[in-house]
Copies of this chain bind each other. A is one copy, B any other.
Amino acid sequence: MKDLPDDSFHVFDTTLRDGAQREGINLTVADKLTIARHLDDFGVGFIEGGWPGANPRDTEFFARARAEIDFAHAQLVAFGATRKAGVQAKDDPQVQALLDSGAPVITLVAKSHDRHVELALRTTLEENLEMVRDTVSHLRAQGRRVFVDCEHFFDGYRANPGYAKQVVSAAHEAGADVVVLCDTNGGMLPAQIDAVVRTVLADTGARLGIHAQDDTGCAVANTLAAVDAGATHVQCTANGYGERVGNANLFPVAAALELKYGRKVLPNGALAEMTRISHAIAEVVNLTPSTHQPYVGLSAFAHKAGLHASAIKVDPDLYQHIDPELVGNTMRMLVSDMAGRASVELKGKELGVDLGGDRELVGRVVERVKERELAGYTYEAADASFELLLREEIEGRPRRYFQVESWRAIVEDRPDGTHANEATVKLWAKGERIVSTAEGNGPVNALDRALRLGLERIYPPLAAMELVDYKVRILEGKHGTESTTRVLVSTADGKGEWSTVGVGENVIAASWQALDDAYVYGLLRAGVEPQE
């Protein structure tokens, strides 16, 4: 742990406990172990693993995490509630389950809003304070470090500030290391957080933490406001997962602390792994990574405006708030009708083609992109189609692996309610005429199958390629089905993925174009020599 910051500031992750409350997330024990490893790699100080005793999955997680993970940076934390009203902490089986988890640190959730004590807990305000004191003291006596989450603290403080502060003091005086002020309903704004944290810190002398929910869209700012006000423990979740809108997102919080505050909270080198770790965790929970997440999203450093592109060539730092490599991300130039020569040159460079010297060529490419985007094409989401266009201009003619003579797709709704989808393609490849027919679950699928069926014998690399995404957009929606159609296709070959675009007067013709580009690009990638 030699390169870790000291204990004076905590980054506390609760992805495995509060993050798992997000609608659509359902973690297995194996998922939780994998995420714990990623979080430890990232270097958070504490990983809250769940509520042992409350469900068998969490109990199992703690047993396996202790046995299977050799944590390099993080300490494992068990979450649970203060003892029940009217029993002693040492006799409460839920409290005992926290000790049995073997976790060196325990977070206790305590009520701090008077109405919640009375209506949800159905006990007296005094008994609630006693529950806090008794449970904290008991766990401390057993040698555990204790943090206390004051649930609904900010709403409670507004309703009854005196009582809310009594709960903080009770936890603090009983030996809790940190008392965490929770904006459980997420309704606070930064200025409110700042004022309350300052006052509570001055009035109680307790070490304070912050737990923010994102219901106002301010969870990151609320967390930072609490830090500004003196909190030294921040609770976050990876990618902001959590109940309702979610929790404070670990990644922008950690990045702000390291890059904007100059406060070292992660081990050396961890920040540069942030984009990878964010996406890896998204994969584990089976949610598509948000393309627009700060710092780590695919679009976070993507530039579209032509206005910017020319200046970016002069100095990229004029148009980005940090160097994307600091967080393991990269700058991307999007080619669109808003962009000009500079973005085409930059895009060329990204694709490994130096266009700097040839103004005439760049001009031609810009003109073709503009013309085609006017017709409905979009290249910002179709890198492979753009590269084919670029190569065509450089090489003076298009790449060709096959010549299409004609194709036909038939969709039939039969009297028994089933559908038949059949396609036939007629084409020439290496001097041979091929006629191929296939069925599919739709006309595009049938065309895709017929095309590959016909060509695989001649171009074996096609066998490894697979369509992995397919998007349709109708342009100029003013004439209903008479509109232009744009199709975006993503294709993968086990080593990488590429996107192509097709536009046509109907969805089948547009799909065909995108498929054609997809396979031409795939064969180019595979190093296959083009035909005459």
A residues with a Cβ closer than 8 A to B are: 21-24, 26, 28, 30-31, 55, 113, 115-116, 119-120, 152, 155, 184-187, 189-191, 214-218, 220-222, 224-225, 228, 240, 243-246, 249, 252, 255-256, 260, 286, 291-295, 297-305, 310-311, 314-315, 318-322, 334, 336-338, 378, 380-381, 404-415, 419, 421, 440-445, 448, 466-483, 485, 489-491, 504-509, 511-512
Q: A217-B221, A218-B218, A245-B300 are in contact. List 19 more A-B contacts (CB 8 A).
A: A22-B304, A24-B381, A184-B319, A185-B319, A186-B321, A189-B260, A190-B224, A191-B225, A218-B221, A243-B302, A243-B304, A243-B305, A406-B414, A409-B410, A419-B504, A442-B507, A469-B478, A469-B480, A472-B485
Chain B residues near A483 (CB-CB < 8 A): 470
Given contacts A191-B228, A480-B468, are A411 and B413 in contact (CB under 8 A)?
Answer: no
Chain B residues near A336 (CB-CB < 8 A): 26
Q: With CB as the reference atom, state the residue of chain B lying closest to A54.
A: B338
Given contacts A23-B302, A294-B214, A508-B442, are A477 and B470 in contact (CB under 8 A)?
Answer: yes
Chain B residues near A380 (CB-CB < 8 A): 23-24
Given contacts A21-B338, A411-B408, A506-B442, are A244 and B477 in contact (CB under 8 A)?
Answer: no
A398 to chain B, nearest CB (A): 15
Chain B residues near A321 (CB-CB < 8 A): 155, 185-187, 215-216
Is the Cβ of A21 less than 8 Å from the Cβ of B304? yes
How far is it, in angstroms, between the C-alpha of A512 and the C-alpha of B406 when the chains are bound? 26
Partner of A474, one of B408, B470, B504: B470
Is the Cβ of A217 less than 8 Å from the Cβ of B252? yes
Is the Cβ of B477 less than 8 Å from the Cβ of A474? no
A217 to chain B, nearest CB (A): 4
How far is it, in angstroms, between the C-alpha of A373 and the C-alpha of B28 when the chains are bound? 11
Chain B residues near A318 (CB-CB < 8 A): 113, 115-116, 119-120, 152
